[in-house]
Structure 1
Amino acid sequence: MNERYRENILEMLKALADESRLSLLRLLNEREYTVGELAGCVDLGEPTVSHHLARLRNVGLVTLRMAGSQRFYRVNESGLARFKRLAAEIEQIPPAPEPVEVDNDWIEALGPEWSEEDRQVLRAHTANGQIVRLPSKEKKRIVILRWLATLFEPDRRYTETEVNEVLKPVYEEDYVALRRDLIDMGYLRRERGGGRYWLAPVEETTLA
């Protein structure tokens, strides 16, 4: 089990160490919900529910689907399966290794359209071109997705396997959720039925 797996299981355990978040996860395992619907089910305010959902989404246990101005949350089945697998192997987690030297030259080489705030988000959540943790705040998460979109070639059509091949080296733990987020947030387009994927034109990317 490598260091990123070790960090992942620790973050997941921290996220689940809360009765409200466990209740939300159980509900989301049944079907999709909006924040308002969840707030009514668990008797919490919508801002509090949004905070809990961000924690669960940050560790890959929940995904978000956009439909117009509506936001629908659901359990990320692949993330939940990964948590179960890691929990079953928890006794095999090795001691923390020595720190690895991080090369952020690629961040400094980004173009002028990337602000210093954007670069700071990338420095905090990546190491040597790989994601080490996903931010819980949506504004920061969008910076990560925007960067991931730069890994795809304009005007090229990708199969789902090819999309996965781009994302897997960057975040092997849950590249499927990243693919879904790129689509939900408008950075990738997909044919009906999921046959082909392509990079959305900049003018169509409302969150760019």
Structure 2
Amino acid sequence: MEKAEFQTLLRFFKVLADESRLKILGILANRECSVEELAAIVKLKEPTVSHHLGKLKELNLVNMRPDGNTHLYRLNSEALQNFSKEIFTPDNMASLVEDVEGEAWESKVLKNFFEDVSEAGCDRVLRLKEIPASRKKRQVILKWLANQFEIGINYPELQVNEIIKRHHPDCATLRRELIASKLMRRENGVYWRLETSIKRPVLSE
């Protein structure tokens, strides 16, 4: 699910997580009402009803039309149907946990393949125990390694080797893997990290 869709879904549930707003929508699904009428039906003050209507209007769930000196409100059934068709789909619901599950799995891989070899009073040093044979697990390691390089900085090969060797002695293999995985590029002995949309896997303490 795209971030914008997720935020819309979150707003939808927040707006409807209120008994009075749900009652107002139910009333407006049957007929048009003014703020005064709604206040009498749901037994709320008119400013409170106006506040609830404002929240519903933010999601385009109610329509308003002028009628003389007053305003009449009605449920926007088309907007509600669009929510159902575009947001409340099985695929979108399933995608809500994809990132969470993916990040949890990546963290587990990192925890299994790295060990902390830091010495007291020194910066934290994480050593890669071995290069995973599994391509999927290796990709997690490569993502982590790529994040040890800053975007927009050119690195000579010697410096790339030094950075990789802090974590594993086989810098040649890992350097080639970073290039093959399109996490870094190389030209004339100069390396740089690509501006990909990868997330930074978190290695648990």
Give the shorter-chain TM-score range: 0.3 to 0.5
- Larger radius of gyration between Structure 1 and Structure 2: 2
